[in-house]
Structure formats: structure tokens, C-alpha cells
Structure 1
Amino acid sequence: MYGYAHHWSNAMTREENFVEGSCLSNETITDWYSYCREAVVTYQVDKQESKGKIGGPGKIVQIDESKFGKRKYNKGRRVEGYWVLGMIENGSEDLRLEVCPDNVRSAEVLIPLIKKHVADYWKAYDCLRDHGYEHLKVNHSDPDNPFVTSDEPTGPTTVRTTVTTTPPEKFHLGTEKMNWYGTNVYCQRNNWKLLVLDSAEIQKEFEDFIKRKNLQNLNYWTAGNQLVDMKTWHWDLDGPAFNYTHWAKGQPDNYKGSQHCLQLFANSLQWDDCNCEIHMNFACLKY
């Protein structure tokens, strides 16, 4: 137990034995370490009180799976017991543990458990990127960087997983040009909405997003329009009136009396009123 508490390996425990000569077998040390781990897990599961989520943008969360329970006939690999999912943020002592229901470790089980504790590799881990996480494998054979490796480590790996939480993309760019009406239908079918820029903050977010993708040389539809009364500018057909604007100089001008939908000028991404029937690029707001 002293060796376990000081994070000694099996070999070091044998070397640091107080009795002269080798009297502890590897199996005995492994059994004692397993017992200590199970005691810690049992206590933690019973006593843990979650205080919000761990992780966040730029944070790293270590995630590990282990099975706890008795070995069949007290020898060989452990085959009876419960699979436990452990999560802890680097530099923190806030450990989170979850018992896998019915010992199932599929994506349907593990992803909700991870999302329960980790802020916005079994096969279950393959889809972490779809949920806003970045998956990095573990390579204990690398002495310089033993924990985090690339997706294709060369040394032996374990099922322990390291994830860095990165916010999922807020915007989705349409793949083909459409008129203003078609863009609304497209976004709504995907449970999104056409781009709403109702504050300076969201305007800058979108500008930064477009510049990262080097696509600022295109025009984009937004949800802005005055189709309800042809006078007042609103977001969506039934949304709020504008309380923030970023019009280009001289806009809106309702050229020829037919410009009732809001586009973003290429490059400057300033606002301009435009004929709703024109086909152009667009962006959906995902959340």
C-alpha cells in the first residue's frame, strides 16, 4: 500500500522491499495494487459530488477505463466486476468516476457519460470529434512524452484517452448558392437558423470564422429582412427588430425598390440590402 500511494511500479516495489531478498511476486503486488485502486474507486463513487463540468477550451482531460472486481478463481485476468470510466483534468484533483451501465462501453453509453462531466479508444471514442472533443492517444513507451501522442503512435498504447475540449463550430457554411428563401429552408431542415448577427460580438465571431477559412472574398446571406412590412428590419420573419447594425456606407438604399433581404459584402463583411431572389453563399447559425 505504501508503494501504491507513492506511485511505485511493480519493479520498484520489489526493489524497495524492506525484507532482504525478493519475497513479493509480481502477481502479489498486482493484486495489492488492484485492491487499492478498487478501494479508491469505491470511495470516490460513493462520495463524489460533481461541481459543474471539468475541462473547457484549451484544457486537457485524462479519461481512462478499467474493470474492477474479483478474478475468476482468484487467478488470471479479471473477468468479473464492473467497468469504470474515470475522468480528471490536468492540474486538478477533481476526479470524476462513472460505472458503465450493464458493463457496456459503446458510443451510446460512453459519450453521454463523458459529456455529463467534460465541458462543451474503443470504437466509442472514434466519434468524440463529432461532439466537440479532440482525441489524442496514449503511448507509455515514449520517455519524453509518455502520455499524449499522435493518432498513430508507434509504441504500445492503452485504452486511456486524453481529450482537449474545443468549442464546436458555431457556424455552418452552405455548400451551394441559394436565394434568401432557400437558405432559410436549408438551415431549418438541419435544426439550425440562417445567420443572425444581433451584436458586435457575434459579428466579430463570424468575421474571424470566415477569415480563418480564407473565405472573406464572398458575399453571404443573413437572416435579416424587412419582408413583414417592407419597412422595419427584423431577424427571421418573426424575429426581433434590429438593435445592432453594421451597415456599409450609404446602406440600406433599397435600390429600385426591390432590396429587402440582408447580405454581407465581400471582404468588408459590412451589411447591405439586396434582392432576396439573388443566389449567393450563406451561413447557418448552429447554436
Structure 2
Amino acid sequence: MAAVHSKLASFENALKYIHLISHFDVVHRSQDKMYFVTKTEAPFDILAADSFCGQFGGYLAEIDDEEEYKFIVNFLWKVGGHAFMTGGYDINREKHWVYWRSGKPVEYLRWSESNPDNYRGVEDCMEISLSRGGFNDVDCKSSKKFLCEK
């Protein structure tokens, strides 16, 4: 009976994964992390995006160091696109970047040239911009793909 329950649990996990890849491109990292990025762009809403990541056991990406950043950028180049929203924002206090889920300060900051610039006073969310070569602050309502981690 235990073997049947084990096989059923494996099958249920596989079904969750199949549902996940219908919405996201997915990659695993050696440190037991998984990253997934939406397959299509849509108007970004940080609360809704984080909730959507949460349906699959994840949250908007929180990039902790150079190694993680390089791994993610390599994945994003393979996925295709030019910019991907993360969980970083400074909505509550300008230039005080924190992560949506954890509330931790963003300590690893790899800003692209001339950023953050808070263009027109409305750029409070953080994206990874492949074309700019680093993080960029953008309007939180931009149409973008978004990056989750689990």
C-alpha cells in the first residue's frame, strides 16, 4: 500500500509540473532552487504576479548574489525576451529597494547604466534588462514577463 501511495504522490507532483510548464519556461539550479518565467508578457501587477507564482509554490524572484544573477541571466537569454520583472520594488520609499515577499532589503544591486533613474517619477519596480545589461527600474504597470523562484 505504501508503494501505491508513493507512486500516486509522484504522479500528482508530475501533474503539477505539467500545469506549471504550460504557463512558464522552467529551469532548475543545483542548490534546489527552481526558476520559472511567464511565457507571455502581460501588464504587471506585483501582488497578482506574486500570487500567481505562489499557486506553484514560488514567489517573485529575489536575487541574492552575482552567481545567482549570472545563472538567471543565462536562463533568460535562452527563454527569449528583453526584460523580466522581479520581486524588487521601492514603492514605499524612493531608492530603498526591498523584496515584495520577504520584505528584505535588496542587497545585491547590479544596476544598468544610469539606473535607477525613476523616470517621470513612476519607476518603482525592478526588472532584469538583458538589453541594458543589469537591473532597471520601471513603471510597475509595464507589460513584461515576470520571473518566479521556488
For Structure 1 versus Structure 2, the TM-score category normalised by the shorter chain is 0.7 to 0.9
| 8 Å CA contact retained: 2:98, 2:105 | yes
Opposite residue 125 of structure 2, the aligned amino acid is C
In the TM superposition, 1:123-272 aligns within 5 A as 127=11, 130=14, 170-178=34-42, 179-181=44-46, 182-211=48-77, 213-215=78-80, 217-236=81-100, 239-272=103-136
Provide the identity percentage: 19
Structure 1 unpaired stretches of 5+: 1-101, 113-123, 131-165
Which residue of 1 is the match for residue 6 of structure 2?
109
| 8 Å CA contact retained: 1:196, 1:222 | yes
| 8 Å CA contact retained: 1:227, 1:237 | no
Aligned residues: 133
Q: Deviations over 1:184-236 (max 9, x none)?
A: 2211232211011121111011012223x342x42100111001223411111
SS at match of 1:227: coil
Opposite residue 56 of structure 2, the aligned amino acid is N
Opposite residue 128 of structure 2, the aligned amino acid is L
Larger radius of gyration: 1
| Larger relative contact order (CA 8 Å, sep ≥ 6) | 2
Compute the displacement of 1:109 (Å).
2.4
Across the aligned residues of Structure 1 and Structure 2, the Cα RMSD in angstroms comes to: 2.8
| 8 Å CA contact retained: 1:225, 1:237 | no
Q: Please, what TM-score do these two structures have when normalized by structure 2?
A: 0.74
* Structure-1 separation of matches of 2:57 and 2:120: 35
SS at match of 2:116: coil
* Structure-1 separation of matches of 2:133 and 2:145: 13
SS at match of 1:105: helix
Opposite residue 259 of structure 1, the aligned amino acid is E
Structure with a larger share of its residues in strand: 2
> Alpha carbons of 1:111 and 1:237: their partners in 2 closer, same or farther (altered >3 Å)?
closer
> Alpha carbons of 1:237 and 1:105: their partners in 2 closer, same or farther (altered >3 Å)?
closer
Structure 2 unpaired stretches of 5+: 15-28
* Structure-2 separation of matches of 1:214 and 1:238: 26
Opposite residue 6 of structure 2, the aligned amino acid is V
